[in-house]
């Protein structure tokens, strides 16, 4: 059965988010950030709240981590770890501007019953690690190190497929690839969508071989952070500007929900960046 014919089933998810009470852009660590461009914290909070409330309406759980005043990028919780089966692999940020977030995420995992693992290698959590069926897709090239791929392979005892990003606009894997089907039958092809030209040729070949039924998204939709999206297997939340991607999703039988996070895009983040999945039961 191809992904075109699969019935779409919504799966309950549990997410970690952080209200952007201190959001601003006063430094630049990616091409989207321009400290000279004004930001509106109240608008960032309002847009974020729409996403938060949509998750609840769709039946998902949302946990919150307290924002720290000196770390405006903490709203991008996807970078705060990678969680499978109640084990939380913590972050080790590339840039000093975000380094202070790491202890806060580790402490949150510890306080909420997860087994927190402090990493040896530089990594930015679910920004660069995406679970696709039984395998972990792992990005490198800008933020997470190649060595972190080996570290998570050992920690979670899963196959890790390394993918190299080459366009600085798409500096995390979750800006260039999204997993559409979080739960699949053993041996089945997970549904994904990706922006081919964000990857080097070798990675494009890997994706084409491993995911022949994937949605290949046009540059116009990738450039508006269309792939920085969230899916429960049936409901997919995307930027309203990614119109072509939205049409592709509807053709495959997904229900599309549009959320505008244009204010948070000024910091180089979107829907998935604001969403860390908490997989497995915390005691």
Catalytic center residues: 172, 273
In the chain, helix, strand, coil percent, each to 5?
30, 20, 50
The per-residue DSSP string of 208-272 comes to: HHH-TTPEEPPHHHHTTTTTS-EESSSEEEE-TT-HHHHHHHHHTTPEEEE---HHHHTTT--TG
Distance CA 90, CA 213 (A): 32
Give phi and psi for 272, each to the nearest 5: -65, -35
Distance CA 197, CA 118 (A): 33
DSSP count for the chain of H helices, then E strands: 8, 15
- Find out whether 123 and 173 touch, Cβ atoms under 8 Å: no
Extract the tokens encoding 150: 């080996």
Distance CA 79, CA 144 (A): 10
Distance CA 39, CA 127 (A): 23
Distance CA 181, CA 99 (A): 32
């Amino acid at each position: 059965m191809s992904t075109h014919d699969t019935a779409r089933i919504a799966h309950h998810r549990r997410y970690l988010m952080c209200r952007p009470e201190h959001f601003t852009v006063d430094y630049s660590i990616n091409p989207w950030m321009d400290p000279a461009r004004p930001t509106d914290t109240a608008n960032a909070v309002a847009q974020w709240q729409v996403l938060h409330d949509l998750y609840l309406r769709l039946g998902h759980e949302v946990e919150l981590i307290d924002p720290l005043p000196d770390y405006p990028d903490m709203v991008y919780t996807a970078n705060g770890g990678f969680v499978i089966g109640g084990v939380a692999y913590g972050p080790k940020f590339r840039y000093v501007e975000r380094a202070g977030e790491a202890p806060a995420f580790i402490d949150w995992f510890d306080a909420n019953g997860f087994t927190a693992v402090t990493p040896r290698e530089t990594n930015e959590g679910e920004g660069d690690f995406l679970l696709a069926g039984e395998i972990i897709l792992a990005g490198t090239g800008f933020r997470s190190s190649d060595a972190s791929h080996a570290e998570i392979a050992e920690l979670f005892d899963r196959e890790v497929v390394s993918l190299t990003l080459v366009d600085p606009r798409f500096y995390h894997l979750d800006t260039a690839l999204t997993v559409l089907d979080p739960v699949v039958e053993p041996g089945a092809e997970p549904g994904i969508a990706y922006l081919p030209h964000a990857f080097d040729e070798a990675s494009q070949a890997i994706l084409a071989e491993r995911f022949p039924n994937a949605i290949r998204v046009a540059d116009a939709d990738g450039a508006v952070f269309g792939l920085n999206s969230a899916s429960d297997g049936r409901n997919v939340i995307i930027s309203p500007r990614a119109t072509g991607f939205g049409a592709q999703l509807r053709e495959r039988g997904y229900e599309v929900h549009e959320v505008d996070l244009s204010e948070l895009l000024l910091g180089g983040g979107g829907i998935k960046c604001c969403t860390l999945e908490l997989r497995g039961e915390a005691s």
